[in-house]
Amino acid sequence: MTHGGVTVWSKEYEYNGHLIDESLQDQRTRHWIYRFNVNMRMLFGLDNHTLIDWERRKNLKRKDLARWLQLYIATHAKPFPVSVEYLRQQSGSQTAVLWEFRRMLKHALACLEANEDIKAWMIEKSSDLVYVERGKATSKAQTRHLGQKKRVTANQNHGTRHRQIRDSTQDGQRDSTQGLA
């Protein structure tokens, strides 16, 4: 990585160059020390990256789907509903049948809820859409971002409505293992 090139981009910048300026290995301990290219720092501003609570991450050891979902959900200030099939494709799951992946997904979402990575979740049976509410797991930067979007949307007054997470118990379609009330 000191000689090879990388391309990394954010909403505002695109960086082309080397990733690591230099590296040093302690011959006694065999540990490496790296110094990243300082020109990349502009890619890591307050609005250009997502921080993960490492202790929460370690709680998901050997739970690959939950770990993938943790990262996927953390990148969305307010996750929009997506289908179970979409999550299966995006996660790279090798599970052949959708009902088996759905079972694994429910377990992974329950793990994220217990780990306080999300507040609540549900899978709507009629549409097979997954709804997630982040709650306190939404970062301060994401909360500010959502506040800015509300002001912009209110100012534009374009009449579109956003679908809210809703309880479908009146239709008898809510799975008892799901966390939305």
**pLDDT for residue 14:** 81
Tens of each residue's pLDDT in the chain, 181 residues: 556 777 877 777 788 888 888 889 999 999 999 888 888 777 766 555 566 777 888 889 999 999 999 989 888 778 889 999 999 999 999 999 999 999 999 999 999 999 998 999 999 999 999 999 987 766 666 666 667 655 555 545 444 433 334 433 334 444 434 445 4
Model-level pTM? Answer: 0.58
Q: Per the structure block, which two tokens stand in for 150?
A: 């509300």
DSSP 2: -
**pLDDT for residue 49:** 58
How far apart (Å, rounded) are the C-alpha atoms in residues 52 and 139?
10
Q: In degrees rounded to 5, what are phi and psi of residue 16? A: -125, 125
The answer to whether the beta carbons of residues 134 and 118 sit under 8 Å apart is: yes
153-177 in b/e burial notation, b at 16+ Cβ within 10 A? Answer: eeeeeeeeeeeeeeebeeeeebeee
How far apart (Å, rounded) are the C-alpha atoms in residues 146 and 165?
16
**pLDDT for residue 160:** 41
SS3 string, 68-133, reads HHHHHHHCCCCCCCEEHHHHHHHHCCCCCCHHHHHHHHHHHHHHHHHCCCCCEEEEECCCCEEEEE
List the chain domain ranges: 6-44, 54-171
